[in-house]
Amino acid sequence: MTSEVISTKELTKMDPVFGQMSFDNHEQIVFCNDKDTGLKAIIGIHNTVLGPALGGTRMWNYSNEWEALNDVLRLSRGMTFKSAITGLNLGGGKAVIIGDAKTQKTPELMRRFGEFVHSLSGKYITAEDVGMNTEDMDIVREVTPYVTGISESKGGAGNPSPITAYGVFMGMKAAAKFKYGSDVLEDKSVYVQGIGHVGEALIENLLNEGAKVTISDINQERLEEVRSKYDVTIYGGNDLYSEKMDIYSPCALGATINDSTINKLQASIIAGAANNQLEDEVRHGNMLKKKNILYAPDFLINAGGIINVYAELENYDKQEIMRKTENIYNTTLDIFNRAESNNVTTQVAAMNIAKERIEKRKREQSK
Ligand SMILES: NC(=O)c1ccc[n+]([C@@H]2O[C@H](COP(=O)([O-])OP(=O)(O)OC[C@H]3O[C@@H](n4cnc5c(N)ncnc54)[C@H](O)[C@@H]3O)[C@@H](O)[C@H]2O)c1
């Protein structure tokens, strides 16, 4: 990946850490290195006003350290607002491990990473993200209690992806309600970009409701595998953004909504799981609004995963997880209504609520 947004050339023009464009008053950034296991990781703690900074660990073969740093800065900031808007008592954090998850991830490396997490005494709590799974978190659990997303057999809430997908589905239905007057997705054409853990589970929800699903992925084998299981069409063209569709659902990586794609986009709704979908929150939020494309803010509708792992900390059960995730529907509708009445983008409307909650807690703490 990329730095999803800024080119390395741009990144290296700025001061290495605090001067980065993606630096947004982060509380702490921890660089972790271990020669024996080959671990090179960065933990980003953005904000802990509402609680410990919880966020997954992503393992990715970044082209350089600038890109890894930029990613962890952006992702950890996103977690702060995700937990805030979802009403969880958690702050925002995230970690990235630099390397290829397929060839460089070993139990020793994961354990060593867990020790670094442990050294922060609970200020940061980890979980899985791209390149990680519940088994990896089980290994981290051997050396620290500050980890969530562990297997059900080990007392955890299990794989968060189906819950994330359900939340995205709820957000998408709320968008349909707002846009078309009905939240039924039957016969709506939905393009799911990225059919990984979340994408596949989302497809199941969509097909159950009778939506017409087209899938795309850079992994051809994965496309064939998913098509063999479900009644979906594989996208065969080379410019998905120009296709006629009702709903575009980005479920791969971030920043796919940018100057070039918005100009082409024919969808009337964007609702997906990927983090940081807008390359530039303000500019691209405004462009979507102008084009009358309804954007369901990513950090609002993809919160099912964090609701699921939060259950491990708060000891609530599956029913409560589902209830909280289903509530994403109401929160999303509320955001759309606020955005419309205040004439702001949906991203701004959602961010304002999240920021208000953090500011309120800060005031209470300073009393
Ligand atoms: N897993 C969760 O619970 C969760 C929670 C919140 C947010 N998210 C976000 O949702 C997204 C998907 O998560 P996941 O767990 O399904 O990841 P995953 O790694 O299982 O799947 C990602 C899929 O996207 C594909 N992909 C990568 N680049 C692509 C591209 N340019 N075009 C098309 N496909 C591409 C990959 O081949 C893979 O199949 C990520 O951005 C993740 O951060 C996931």
Please state whether beta strands 91-98 and 39-47 pair in parallel, antiparallel, or not at all (unpaired): antiparallel
Residue to probe by mutation, ligand 1, list 58, 161, 202, 216, most atoms within 8 Å of CB: 161
Looking at the fold, whether 269 and 284 belong to one and the same domain comes out as yes
Task: Tell me if 19 is assigned to a ligand binding site.
Answer: no
ipTM (interface pTM): 0.99
CA distance 82 to 54: 10
CA distance 198 to 221: 17
Task: Tell me if 348 is assigned to a ligand binding site.
Answer: no
Domain of 127 in residue numbering reads as 8-154
Q: Which of 90, 125, 154 is the last residue of a domain?
A: 154
Tokens 């259950």 locate to 311
Looking at the fold, whether 174 and 257 belong to one and the same domain comes out as yes
Residue 161: CB within 6 Å of ligand 1? yes
Looking at the fold, whether 12 and 124 belong to one and the same domain comes out as yes
Q: In what order do the strands lie in the sheet with 233-234?
A: 233-234, 212-216, 189-193, 247-250, 269-270, 294-295
Report the pLDDT value the prediction gives residue 3, as an integer from 0 to 100. Answer: 47
Residue 275: CB within 6 Å of ligand 1? yes
Q: Which of 154, 181, 216 is the last residue of a domain?
A: 154
Query: Does residue 228 lie in a domain region?
Result: yes
| Nearest CA residue ID for atom 3, ligand 1 | 161
Q: Which of 104, 137, 154 is the last residue of a domain?
A: 154
**Is 136:107 a contact under the CB 8 Å cutoff?**
no
Active-site annotation holds for 94: yes
Query: Does residue 175 lie in a domain region?
Result: yes
Tens-digit pLDDT string for the chain (367 aa): 444 567 777 877 777 788 877 888 999 999 999 999 999 999 999 999 999 999 999 999 999 999 999 999 999 999 999 999 999 999 999 999 999 999 999 999 999 999 999 999 999 999 999 899 999 999 999 999 999 999 989 988 888 899 999 999 999 999 999 999 999 999 999 999 999 999 999 999 999 999 999 999 999 999 999 999 999 999 999 999 999 999 999 999 888 999 999 999 999 999 999 999 999 999 999 999 999 999 999 999 999 999 999 999 998 888 999 999 999 999 999 999 999 999 999 999 999 999 999 999 999 998 8
Query: Does residue 309 lie in a domain region?
Result: no
Cα end-to-end span (Å), the chain: 44
Ligand 1 mean position, distance from CA 129 (Å): 9
Which ligand 1 atom minimizes the distance to the CA of 128?
1
Looking at the fold, whether 96 and 186 belong to one and the same domain comes out as no
Looking at the fold, whether 75 and 133 belong to one and the same domain comes out as yes
Residue 222: CB within 6 Å of ligand 1? yes
Ligand 1 mean position, distance from CA 340 (Å): 30
The number of folded domains in the chain is: 2
Query: Does residue 366 lie in a domain region?
Result: no
CATH number reported for the structural domain that contains residue 30 in this entry: 3.40.50.10860
Residue 58: CB within 6 Å of ligand 1? no
Task: Tell me if 305 is assigned to a ligand binding site.
Answer: no
Ligand 1 mean position, distance from CA 141 (Å): 24
Report the pLDDT value the prediction gives residue 23, as an integer from 0 to 100. Answer: 87
